[in-house]
Each structure stands twice: as C-alpha cells, then as structure tokens.
Amino acid sequence: MTKKWWMESVGYQIYPKSFYDSNNDGIGDLKGIYEKLPYLKKLGIDLIWICPFYDSPMDDNGYDVRNFFEVSKDFGTLEDFKMILKRAQELNIKIILDFVLNHTSDEHPWFIESRSSIDNNKRDYYIWEQGKIKDGKEVPPTNWGSFFGGSAWEKDEITNMYYMKIFSNKMPDLNWSNAEVRNEMIKVGKWWLDLGVDGFRIDAVSHLDRAPFEDSKNGEGIVLDWHKFSNLPRVHEYLKEMNKELFSKYDVLAIGEVGGEAPIDSALSYSGFDQNELSMVFNFDHNWCNNLHEISNYQDLKTDVLRLKSVFNKWQTAFSEKGWLPLNWLNHDQPRLMSHYGDLKFFNESAKMLATALYLMRGTPFIYQGEEIGMTNYPFTNFKEFRDVSSINFYNSLDHLNEQERIWEVKKTSRDNPRTPIQWNDSKYAGFSNVEPWINVNPNYKDINVKSNLENKDSIWHHYKKIIELRKKSIYKELFIYGEYKQTDLINPNIYIYERFNENKKVVVINSFSNETINYNISNYNLKQVLLSNYQDTIIKNKIITLRPYESLVLEVFNHE
Ligand code: GLC
Ligand code: CA
C-alpha cells in the first residue's frame, strides 16, 4: 500500500449556505468560510470538503449547477474562493470541492441548447426519450421513480420528449455515454485542479450509467428502483477514463458518493487500491442502523448496536488491505448525529463516545459541520419551516395523512435537519448572521453553541480536538492511521470494542452504547495506560472495568507478540 496524504488527514465538511454569513444577507458564504478557517485549524482539521458554491438557480442549494466555472452570487466571488485557497495553504489545510457529474441545472446553457430541438448539437448531452402509449394515454418512457419523488422523467413541451432526471425536475441528467460530455467534465475538473484545489468529493457518482429503458418489475405505478441507475458496469469505464485523464495527473483525493446500496464488492471496485478509479467512497450502510423508519415518536428511537457493529466489521475487514475508507457519521443529507444515535439525557457522554467510536477506526474522518458541538435535529412543527426540495416534494406526496403525521414523516429524515445554521454563539440568530437566516436557527442555540464549547474545557468540542490530537501525535500516528483494526466481542449488544495494533503498539477502544452501568471483564489485556476517556476517572478493579452510561475509553495495552 502506498501511503497518501489524505490517509493522514482529518476532514471537515462545510455546507456553505449554513456555515457562516459574513455580509449579513442571511445566507452563509465563502468569506464566512474564510473567516472561520482559524477555527477549523484550532480543532485540528487539515482537509475541508466544501459543498457546491457554483453559479446555480438553487433548486437544490447548488447541486443544480448553471455554470461550473463561476461562483454563485449568493456565496461570493471567485476571488473570495482564491482567498480561501491561499489561506488554507498557509494553514496546511487541503480543500476539496463537490464535483457534480450526474446532472446540471436545467438553466445550464448545455441544457437550454439541448432542449431547443432534436437536431441541436447538444441534444445528446442529456438523455431524451419518447413517451410510451399505455391504455391510450401517453406515459413516461419507463416507470422509474426519482430520488426526490415522482417520475425519473420529465416531459419537455418544446420537443414533446422526456428528459431523464433522477433528482429534481430542474436537474436533468447528463448523458455519460457521450464522449463529448465526458471531455467537458474533465475540462471542468482540470480547471479547478489547476486553480489549486486538492481534489473532489464526487456527487452521485454511482449513477452515471443506466440500465436499458425497460419498466421496473419491483412494484406498481412509479417505482423508485435505483438498481436501474446505480452501480452499473459502464460507471467503471467512465471513472477509469477520469482517473487516467484527470486524477492521476495530480496528487488528488477523489472521493465518490456511492448511494444505491453499493455492496462491499462494488465499493471495492470503485476504490480498491488497484482499480485506478477513486481514492475512496462514502457508503451509507452505517448511517441508518436504528428503527427510525418504524417509529412514530422520537422517544421510541433505538440504535441497533449489533447491526452497527457488524456493518463496521464488514467494511473495515473488507478494506483492510485492499482500500481506504472515509469515517463519517452523517452529511448534509442525513439526520443530525445526536438526534439519530445519541442520547439526549446523557448528552455530552454520548456525543463524545460516538466520536471516539468512529474516528479511531482505520480511515479518514469527515466531521460534518456542527457535529463537533453536538448540534441536533430541528424541532419542525410547521410545513413552512422546510426548505429542501426533496422534503417539500415528499410532504406534497403525503396528502392521505393528517397534518401532524405528515410533518412527522417528513421531519424524521428531512435533509433540512443538518442544514440549520451553525450555532456560533448565544446571540440572536446564533451568531450565524445579523438578519433572519434563509432557514430557521435551531432554538437550542443558547445551550449548544461554539462559543460555550470553546470556553468549557470539558466540552464535546474539546473531546473532538483530543481525538484528532491523539490520531496525529507522533508516537501514535502510525498506529491510529495505518495500524490494523480488529473488532472483538462481536455479540455484545451494548459495547462496541475494537483493537488497533501494529508490530509495536496496541490500543483497545471500548465504547458503551448503554445508558446503564455495565461491568466488563478486560482480563485478556495487560493495561499500560488510559489514553482517552469521556469521564474524569476510570474505574478498574481486578481486571473488571466499570463502564458508566456511554463511557468510552482508549486503553493502551502491552503488545504481547
Ligand atoms: C447527492 C448530494 C445531495 C444532492 C444530490 C443531487 O446525493 O449529497 O445533497 O441533492 O446528490 O446532486
Ligand atoms: Ca452572506
């Protein structure tokens, strides 16, 4: 295995619209990111993934790109971005951008041309099909559903044909089987790499190839059968080409988002060391290990610890020699960590435990903005509070439910949860802006904010900092970054334990997911020292360790071999 800079990095994800508003128009912006770089440096971050800030009509907050080479006026100017790059370089922070390959905005000049007539020379940049006649009525070319609700096809009146769009209507899918499209996208990537960025998080990368346009047999009506456009063979051809023509010419990190239930084999086929495609891929197996979809009240939410442990074990083991993994609890599309896997009654303990449990595994951490202070889901009570296009579409589709049920269904998975403004302090609008932000601030900002976290040495933020320091400390770096991972006591339903070891050192990371005290036998270890804990002291008697609620420990033990 060749060591790479990005294996040793600690990443942080920024969703610009919600991070920090420097000019008080209610929208986070690039200057806001610039101003907060020292904050991230202080935490120990040395890699930042910034979500899209390209010119966009903002149907999906910038994932609908109108111009790949321009910065959205909402977010600032290209000069602002260059300032970020320069300052980040001085601070030894790498920057990666979100690279949206699957689609553009319907306002992108390519699409405007493409839709204008069937013989336009950009027609084939997108995916156009005739509708079908079914029972005497015209219907879309297939019954496939889109991720954001409704059909995966939208009829365009100009030529009376359908274009494919697996996200929103305003996000037509590019036709990757067209070599011109691929060349254009390589040019986009090159332009940003030449400007000095260190790589990309590649959006929706698993969807670039489509199955033959035949109806899905997996249901009635419109069927969201993502197998029809996820992880199909030609994606690999395209990525090998991107790698050859683009990534391999620079020392970059190219991390793909592979939704659509990419199994391990498939994830390895994207990012295995010998694949020449991507550096690593985000998967979502560990992001939904609870009963969220079965409950009707947050009080009944329960983490499926055994499932979580088995998912970690599977991925860590499969990648141990063949590839590298990102370590992330959430992103801008998922519920907030504390509302998902945390325990609000043992707030600090569980927040710190979750961080220790994840970020000392083998891989590159990606902390999502606000996670380092334990931000939570927003308490939505009214439809008007939602902003996200997919949440709004989902709400509209639930007209068979009463208002309260509708709100509940939408809010529990709403992508607006992780998108409320970062709570910088306890002043009005949480110090995010001086004016009312584009989306409401979570009302708990007086208790949960960056300022109080920085002031209190025992805060969640300081625990995150300690974990990062431990990963980077010269005598442990080899161990935590490149050491092996082994999970033990796989059947324990409350405690997640793993070892990290190499020839010289060994640590055991013990994480209790229980709200009760548990005595645990550690007689198979010969304790050297406690490296990190989320409690003030450690109780070990006769090789029995007393784990209080959500206690989490990193123990260095003697390496017998
Ligand atoms: C990815 C992004 C998501 C976006 C979608 C379409 O899943 O993470 O936020 O809406 O792609 O670009
Ligand atoms: Ca602003």
Q: Which of 406, 308, 299 is nearest to 358 (CA)?
A: 308
Task: Write down the residue that tokens 């980040």 correspond to.
Answer: 88
Residue nearest to atom 12 of ligand 1 (CA): 63
Pairing relationship of beta strands 161-164 and 153-156 according to DSSP bridges: antiparallel
Dihedral sign (CA 239, 244, 247, 248): positive
Contact predicate 435/353, CB 8 Å: no
Residue 64 beta carbon below 6 angstroms from any ligand 1 atom: no
Best substitution site from 17, 59, 60 to test ligand 1's pocket, by max atoms within 8 Å of Cβ? 60
The reported pTM is 0.98
| pLDDT at 261 (0 to 100) | 66
DSSP 307-366: HHHHHHHHHHHHHTTT---EE-S--TTS--HHHHTS-GGGHHHHHHHHHHHHHTSSSEEE
Atom of ligand 1 nearest to the CA of 259: 7
Residue 15 beta carbon below 6 angstroms from any ligand 1 atom: no
Residue 20 beta carbon below 6 angstroms from any ligand 1 atom: no
Q: Tell how far CA 265 is from the center of its chain.
A: 21
| pLDDT at 289 (0 to 100) | 97
Choosing from 29, 59, 203, 225, the catalytic residue is 203
Pairwise CA distance, residues 203 & 99, whole Å = 6
Pairwise CA distance, residues 524 & 542, whole Å = 12
Residue nearest to atom 4 of ligand 1 (CA): 63
Residue nearest to atom 6 of ligand 1 (CA): 63
CB-proximal residues (5 Å) to ion ligand 2:
21, 23, 25, 27, 29
Q: Which of 337, 366, 388, 429 is nearest to 50 (CA)?
A: 366
Pairwise CA distance, residues 341 & 357, whole Å = 12
Looking at residue 384, the DSSP 8-state letter turns out to be G
Three-state DSSP at 473 gives: coil
| pLDDT at 188 (0 to 100) | 98
Pairwise CA distance, residues 218 & 330, whole Å = 29
Residue nearest to atom 2 of ligand 1 (CA): 203
Q: How far is the CA of 15 from the centre of ligand 1 (A)?
A: 12
Chain segment 500-518, per-residue pLDDT in tens: 999 999 999 999 999 999 9
| pLDDT at 384 (0 to 100) | 98
Choosing from 257, 372, 416, 551, the catalytic residue is 257
Pairwise CA distance, residues 117 & 122, whole Å = 9
| pLDDT at 559 (0 to 100) | 86
Q: How far is the CA of 63 from the centre of ligand 1 (A)?
A: 6
Ligand number nearest to the C-alpha of 421: 2
Low-confidence ranges of the chain (pLDDT < 50): 561
Residue type for 361, please?
M
Residue ranges of E strands in 429-479: none
Ligand number nearest to the C-alpha of 13: 1
DSSP 158-181: TTTEEEE-SS-TT-PBB-TTSHHH
Q: How far is the CA of 25 from the centre of ligand 2 (A)?
A: 5
Chain segment 354-393, per-residue pLDDT in tens: 999 999 999 999 999 999 999 999 999 999 999 999 999 9
Residue 203 beta carbon below 6 angstroms from any ligand 1 atom: yes
Residue-wise burial string across 386-399, b where 16 or more C-beta atoms lie within 10 A, e elsewhere: bbbbbbbbbbeeee
Say whether 257 is catalytic: yes
Pairwise CA distance, residues 131 & 415, whole Å = 32
Q: How far is the CA of 48 from the centre of ligand 1 (A)?
A: 18
Contact predicate 257/205, CB 8 Å: yes
Please count the CA atoms within 13 angstroms of the CA of 467 that sit on its side-chain side.
32
Give the strand order in the sheet containing 518-521: 518-521, 544-547, 539-541
Q: How far is the CA of 16 from the centre of ligand 2 (A)?
A: 9
Pairwise CA distance, residues 319 & 232, whole Å = 21
Per 3-state DSSP, the chain is made up of helix, strand and coil in percentages (nearest 5) of 35, 20, 45
Pairwise CA distance, residues 529 & 360, whole Å = 17
Say whether 294 is catalytic: no
Contact predicate 277/30, CB 8 Å: no
CB atoms within 10 A of CB 142: 24
Pairwise CA distance, residues 351 & 51, whole Å = 24
